[in-house]
Amino acid sequence: MSPRERPRVALVCHEADRIDAEGLAAWLATSLRLVGVVAIREGPGQIVRRVRREIRRVGLLRCLDVAAFRLYYRVCLARADTAWIAEEVARLRARYPMSPRGVPRLVAPNPNAPEVRDFLRGLDPDLVIARCKFILRPDIFTIARAGTWVLHPGICPEYRNAHGCFWALVNRDLDRVGMTLLRVDEGVDTGPIFLQASYKFDDLRESHVVIQYRVVLENLSAIEATLLAAWTRAARPIPTDGRRSAVWGQPWLSAYLRWKRAARQAAR
């Protein structure tokens, strides 16, 4: 398929996420036809609002567990993950050599902002790939002719919302440590599902961050094939009738320690 025969794709991602902003952008530029990038640069107010929502959802005591995990991650895990991310970005850019640097780019505080809507409409995309921690409004996710698609790090509908792989690992639900390719609707990861996949992860040695990236990165060929099939309307959704559905939030330190203890016991 020549470049002009490939679908026009726009990427919405967080500016600071190197895997998405550099690695996945290079994959889209090489494998499909990347026509624009929306880079989200969140302000302090948005982060405060997210914390307040989490407090309302799980309570103040559990939010202290969340804060403890974030401190633990920063002190004990972040350096190794940052090194892995740098190596992975270099690998992705070598494997997918077309640079996204010349592609039109918009920096915005929120993917639902009016300037994002106008930017995406101007790009006239066939597909939008959303890699962001926001619920998109209909006037955003309906712009692309073949829909807006999420590469969700978790198996849906059982592990919706952020950190699906983390909670599957904590629950020892190892057959549901994976990714879901779904088309966005008005719910939280409730749209029709077109692909679910995983890889041979090492839950003793790999962090949840590495696992949640790798469930996507190890399946880029299958994701590309499914997106192409969706673009030509040849893809059919996977039935999910009768499966349980649950929404999960931020990682807890107590849950992380329980996961790693179980992983050590399983490795003996």
pLDDT at 123 (0 to 100): 98
Mean pLDDT computed over 16-21: 97
Q: Residue 51 pLDDT more than 90?
A: no
Mean pLDDT computed over 58-76: 91
pLDDT at 56 (0 to 100): 75
DSSP state of 244: -
> Angle 178-179-183 (CA atoms, 0-180°, nearest 5)?
155
Q: How far is CA 232 from the centre of its chain?
A: 24
Residue with structure tokens 């889209």?
28
Residue with structure tokens 């719910």?
187
CA distance 116 to 184: 17
Q: How many structural domains does the chain have?
A: 1
| DSSP helix/strand/coil, 127 | strand
pLDDT at 3 (0 to 100): 60
pLDDT in tens, 174-218: 999 999 999 999 988 999 999 999 999 999 999 999 999 999 999
pLDDT in tens, 120-161: 999 999 999 999 989 999 999 999 999 999 999 999 999 998
> Looking at residue 126, which CATH number applies to its domain?
3.40.50.12230
| DSSP helix/strand/coil, 95 | helix
CA distance 19 to 164: 18
- Give the structural domain span for 134: 3-267
**Beta-bridge partner residues of 127:** 9
Q: Residue 57 pLDDT more than 90?
A: no
Q: Are strands 8-14 and 148-152 parallel, antiparallel or unpaired?
A: unpaired
Q: What are phi and psi of 10, to 5 degrees?
A: -115, 145
